[in-house]
Amino acid sequence: MKWTGLTGGIATGKSTAKKLIEGLGVPVVDADHISHKLTEVGAKGYSAIVSHFGNSVLEKDKRLDRKKLGHLVFTDPQVKTDLENILHPLIKIEVDKLRKHYLDQAVPLCFYDVPLLFEKNLMNEFHTTVLVWCNNQTQLERLMKRNSLSVEEAYIRIKNQLPMIDKVKMAEHCVDNSGDTLDLEKQLKRLLKHL
């Protein structure tokens, strides 16, 4: 099985690409989806986060206050490190189970959607890497609209990741999502044939 790292930048359209790839019949293991499952009330990740950070990161109904936690992560590097140290080992266990499942099913190609693939220097864990990117202005506008952020808040989140130009240089395959979904789908079809 060709284990392929799928990444992007915040608001570059990686989630849209993931859905299109799945729609074309290729499985995608999603780190964010696994993370959300692990941080539901009562799950292992949730318990570890509350134990570490306390009740201040909870909503009134005891669910994680993701907006508050997100703000802390993007403004305090230690919070980001602590949260990653809690979640990444748990995520890896789940990913390994899914990867084994697809290997056992003799699936020829499987993507792993990893937001911080290059930031965490994970390139060697994959047979190949695919970056979904877009131009800076499009990224900024999408992020502001999607998350209801000011220009300043959006810039802080974008600056928290490697610059897109660096990711383009590091990726083996790049998909430009500056256009519309139809254009993205055409590029992905070509890429899947190539892979």
Which residues partner with 131 through β-bridges? 7, 174
> Which residue in this structure is represented by tokens 């060697």?
124
Q: What is the pLDDT along the chain (195 residues), one digit of tens a residue?
A: 999 999 999 999 999 999 999 999 999 999 889 999 999 999 999 999 999 999 989 999 999 998 888 888 888 889 889 999 999 999 999 999 999 999 999 999 999 999 889 988 999 999 999 999 999 999 999 999 999 999 998 988 898 889 999 999 999 999 999 999 999 999 999 999 999
Nearest-Å Rg of the Cα atoms of the chain is 17
Query: What H or E segment, with its residue span, contains residue 37?
Result: helix 31-38
Buried-exposed string 83-93: b where 16+ CB fall within 10 A, e elsewhere: beebbeebbee
Residue 116 half-sphere exposure, CB side, CA atoms within 13 Å? 10
In angstroms, the CA 1 to CA 147 distance is: 36
* Secondary structure of 106-142 in HEC code, one letter for each residue: CCCEEEEECCCCCCCCCHHHCCEEEEEECCHHHHHHH
- Reported as type and span, the H/E element at residue 71 is helix 66-75
